[in-house]
Chains A and B, each alone.
Chain A
């Protein structure tokens, strides 16, 4: 018997905006799911796995089995975790289920309107953290501590960070789907001239915050033969977790290389190296995190990320294009489903249908991370072969 292979057959991103006052989380999640199924040429009745946010109202918030009635059939696979319902982590777990035969067709994604949380929420990760919140160590500051140490050790400059921000923001400036469409273009000088948030990060070094949903559909390569779009294969992947989010500050010496082990395993599975990747769809909560990931993913050596980005390597015409859609810096950040948007962009690139299409893209790397970054999840996507 031929082993089962997992492929992505449908993707959908809803509108993404600073605020979507006329939309609810459920409305956006439903659109994401139906849109991804329509893109795949499937219907709700085809779905037997749901790694989807259940935002309510109705049912228990977060309980994945709530989706069974929405799909009108019993499910074989669900998840109650918002992090299992998005991005590379969601993809790898769905692919594992499909490959093992626990389910045949899994939808991953949804929507949580995190920006509509209580105004007095703790400044950390959203839960009270005894030794971090009291010091005002919010998300930007935790990443800043890692960036500052990298600059100290390797001489990475604010201007190199600004080059990342300008490059990715300019991709979004000319992407009609981006929240920041039409804003810019920016030069590194513009980034350096924007107000300081937490050294070394200026305002334009930091990602935007908004609302929106996204989803994708994973099924077997065999099932995909009957479907309209070319299937996109999961060629490799990996995950790394240093510790729980935000309980401790991220220390460069502990987390600076996070993503290296995961990507090494993924490259080995796929039989490729970092330099074979045609397009990167990476977590960019700030400019520095791209420099760090270029090093951790093995595109360059440790400490070489600053000069690499300064050389133009991550631009649309560069050797290692990063976030052609504008990323979290300009396209969208919407809570956890921004991770799913990274998969959506990678699939569009491999289908040849992206807004800023990288010519001949046949291998894409999706990377998600968070909390400073204390965790990393990644996958390598390519044509099914």
Chain B
């Protein structure tokens, strides 16, 4: 058994195409400028249906983190750091912070997106500590 695999929808297809190319695309409302995540039929700030995906820098900070010790299902190696990332250029999303001991992932930690394939069709946006990423580059 593997972990639950995202099934792209009409709304999310461009997002998953972006992660495969190494781009983090976040919806941005054309009318009010709000960046939001997850992709939804209308902007959660102004109800406009006119929004489009725009690239994010992929830089952000950890808003909240939990270290999961009990595997939530098949296909997960525990422990892992499940975190909400506030992106510097707007929007917040759920991910794992990796390449660091899970217990060392703290609220406020600067992080950077790191794309890693889940299978042939889906590439996931993980996050790594921003310093570690800089050292790799």
Check B107 against A130 for contact (C-beta < 8 Å). Answer: no
In the bound assembly, the distance between CA atoms of A134 and B15 in angstroms comes to 15
Number of interface residues of A (CB under 8 A): 34
Residues of B within 8 A of A124 (CB): 4
Per-residue 0/1 for A75-87: is the Cβ within 8 Å of any B Cβ (1 yes, 0 no)? 0000000000000
Interface centre among B67, B68, B96 (most CB of A within 10 A): B68
Cβ-defined partner of B69 (8 Å) among A123, A195, A249: A195
Residues of A within 8 A of B1 (CB): 120
Nearest to B1 among chain A residues (CB) is: A120
| B51 contacts the other chain (CB 8 A) | no
Check B84 against A131 for contact (C-beta < 8 Å). Answer: no
Stretch at the interface among A146-154, A179-187, A299-307, A354-362: A146-154
Counted as pairs of residues, one from A and one from B, with CB atoms less than 8 Å apart, the total is 102
Residues of A within 8 A of B94 (CB): 131-132, 135, 137, 248-249
Residues of B within 8 A of A353 (CB): none
Residues of B within 8 A of A131 (CB): 6, 12, 37-38, 93-94
Query: Interface residues of B: mostly helix, strand, loop or mixed?
Result: loop
In the bound assembly, the distance between CA atoms of A197 and B66 in angstroms comes to 10
In the bound assembly, the distance between CA atoms of A198 and B107 in angstroms comes to 15
- Contact residues of A with B, CB < 8 Å? 120, 122-124, 128, 130-138, 140-141, 144-146, 148-149, 152, 195-200, 247-249, 251-253
| B46 contacts the other chain (CB 8 A) | no
Nearest to A151 among chain B residues (CB) is: B107
Number of interface residues of B (CB under 8 A): 36
A206 to chain B, nearest CB (A): 9
Check A148 against B64 for contact (C-beta < 8 Å). Answer: yes
In the bound assembly, the distance between CA atoms of A123 and B78 in angstroms comes to 15
Check B82 against A134 for contact (C-beta < 8 Å). Answer: no
Residues of A within 8 A of B64 (CB): 145-146, 148-149, 152, 249, 251-252
A172 to chain B, nearest CB (A): 22
Nearest to A139 among chain B residues (CB) is: B72
Scan residues 35-93 of chain B and give those whose CB is less than 8 A from a CB of chain A: 37-38, 63-73, 76, 80, 82-84, 92-93
In the bound assembly, the distance between CA atoms of A140 and B68 in angstroms comes to 9
Nearest to B78 among chain A residues (CB) is: A136
Check B4 against A123 for contact (C-beta < 8 Å). Answer: yes
Check A145 against B7 for contact (C-beta < 8 Å). Answer: no
In the bound assembly, the distance between CA atoms of A198 and B8 in angstroms comes to 28
In the bound assembly, the distance between CA atoms of A136 and B79 in angstroms comes to 11
Task: Using known A-B contacts A198-B82, A251-B64, A251-B84, determine if residue A136 contacts B118 with beta carbons closer than 8 Å.
Answer: no
B38 to chain A, nearest CB (A): 5
In the bound assembly, the distance between CA atoms of A141 and B66 in angstroms comes to 7
